[in-house]
């Protein structure tokens, strides 16, 4: 019996997507192949170079206009002849459009893979016109695979049929991360006489780290024993290092590909003051209470009053207040941390994420 063949289209192989592609490549229920581009030098859109050996993949020549465009994509899809195509959405609209048109011509199933829309993002001018084309694709896709309940709400408000929307909260590979934490955590790696605040992620302007630095400095004027531990690097790091708020209480640990629990596991709270989302999972797996602003929509599924705070209008005063509350109430912070861990391992695990995707495939087979 011929297995269902699935093709995934993505700009590059992002390191956090590798477990998903690996699981798909080794699933005996279907055959899978990832088609991806070369990326863009000097940006975050670069291909991961590690742990790729278990992924069935092929790199295609692409150009940027400014979105990625793969000239041979239509003919490649014809030669591959997949039954199902799923593609990232707006960020790769040209290639997604090619795949969508192919799916309609050859009567294949098409899955639109998208977070929806970032909070407070408005469209105007030519981008607004493009949005109409995106809406057409969304309405005529066979399924929408979205990152969060906020994403599902966004698509419902755009008039998408509820039955086509599949929601899987975007998370890292929770099982692998638990193993990594058990192997690398070192109690006391950080000074435990301090109240340690943790952050992990790419250092970008959109992370709003200057705000976090200002709040930590403000709290230290009052309490004198807080440390901010920043894990990561990125294009914005050099500029951030020049910020006049940097002092001995602000510690840059650099990028840590394996073993970040030495830092996060010894912190008292995790804070994500800007865009992101997956980093919240790392804080939760390290048993930390979470404070976040508007990230990528997943924060409303990952964080509630039992394990932290989502600050929709994050600012100096609101962030100061929440960190100070947990600083003064360590027992509550501890319980919140335990709730974080229980939630990410029981309710919102990577297995749950993967099983939602497989349900799409099963539903296609039964309809």
Residue 120: what pLDDT?
A: 47
Delimit the domains of the chain by residue range.
4-171+349-366, 174-347
**pLDDT at residue 308 tops 90:** yes
**pLDDT at residue 1 tops 50:** no
pLDDT per residue as tens digits for the range 202-224: 999 999 999 999 999 999 999 99
d(CA 270, CA 199): 6
Where in 175-220 does DSSP place strands (E)?
Answer: 195-200
Give all strands of the β-sheet with 269-272 in edge-to-edge order: 250-254, 226-231, 195-200, 269-272, 290-292, 308-310
Tell me which of 3.30.43.10, 3.40.1350.10, 3.40.50.2000, 1.20.1250.20 is the CATH number of domain 4-171+349-366: 3.40.50.2000
Identify the three-state secondary structure at position 324. Answer: helix
The sign of the torsion formed by the CA atoms of 322, 328, 331, 337 equals positive
Stretch 302-325: mean pLDDT, rounded?
97
Percent residues over pLDDT 70 in the chain: 96
d(CA 283, CA 296): 16
Residue 15: what pLDDT?
A: 87
Query: In whole angstroms, how far apart are CA 90 and each of 3, 73, 262, 360?
Result: 30, 17, 36, 21
Ranges 21-25, 45-49, 168-172, 332-336: which has the least confidence: 45-49
Length of the chain equals 367
Contact (Cβ atoms closer than 8 angstroms) between residue 204 and residue 173: no
Give me the CATH topology for the region 174-347.
Answer: Rossmann fold (3.40.50)
Half-sphere exposure of 10 (CA within 13 A, CB side): 20
d(CA 89, CA 14): 15
Half-sphere exposure of 15 (CA within 13 A, CB side): 12
Stretch 6-15: mean pLDDT, rounded?
94
d(CA 203, CA 256): 13
**pLDDT at residue 118 tops 60:** no
What are the counts of helices (DSSP H) followed by strands (DSSP E) for the chain?
A: 14, 15
**pLDDT at residue 121 tops 70:** no
pLDDT per residue as tens digits for the range 222-235: 999 999 999 999 88
pLDDT per residue as tens digits for the range 166-206: 999 999 999 999 999 999 999 999 999 999 999 999 999 99
């Amino acid at each position: 019996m011929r297995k269902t063949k699935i093709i995934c289209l993505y700009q590059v192989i992002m390191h956090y997507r590798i477990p998903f592609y690996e699981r798909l490549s080794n699933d005996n229920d279907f055959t899978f192949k990832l088609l991806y581009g070369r990326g863009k030098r000097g940006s975050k859109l670069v291909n991961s170079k590690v742990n790729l050996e278990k992924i069935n993949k092929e790199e295609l020549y692409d150009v940027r206009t400014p979105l990625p465009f793969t000239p041979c994509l239509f003919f490649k899809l014809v030669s591959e002849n997949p039954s199902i195509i799923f593609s990232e959405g707006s960020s790769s609209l040209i290639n997604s459009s090619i795949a969508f048109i192919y799916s309609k011509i050859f009567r294949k199933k098409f899955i639109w893979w998208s977070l929806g829309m970032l909070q407070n993002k408005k469209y105007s001018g030519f981008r607004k016109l493009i949005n109409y084309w995106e809406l057409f694709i969304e309405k005529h896709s066979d399924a929408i695979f979205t990152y969060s309940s906020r994403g599902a709400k966004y698509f419902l408000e755009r008039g998408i049929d509820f039955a086509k929307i599949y929601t899987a909260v975007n998370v890292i590979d929770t099982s692998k991360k638990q193993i990594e934490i058990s192997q690398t955590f070192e109690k006391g790696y950080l000074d435990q006489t301090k109240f340690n605040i943790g952050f992990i992620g790419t250092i970008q302007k959109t992370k709003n780290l200057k705000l976090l630095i200002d709040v930590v400095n403000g709290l230290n004027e009052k309490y004198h024993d807080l440390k901010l531990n920043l894990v990561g690097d990125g294009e914005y790091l050099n500029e951030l290092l020049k910020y006049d708020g940097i002092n001995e209480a602000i510690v840059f640990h650099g990028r840590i590909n394996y073993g970040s629990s030495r830092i996060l596991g010894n912190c008292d709270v995790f804070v994500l003051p800007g865009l992101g989302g997956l980093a919240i999972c790392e804080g939760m797996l390290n048993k930390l209470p979470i404070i976040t602003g508007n990230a990528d929509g997943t924060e409303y599924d990952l964080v509630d009053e039992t394990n932290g705070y989502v600050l929709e209008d994050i600012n100096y005063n609101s962030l100061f207040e929440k960190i100070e509350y947990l600083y003064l109430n360590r027992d509550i912070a501890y319980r919140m941390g335990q709730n974080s861990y229980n939630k990410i391992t029981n309710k919102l695990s990577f297995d749950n994420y993967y099983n939602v995707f497989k349900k799409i495939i099963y539903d296609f087979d039964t309809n």
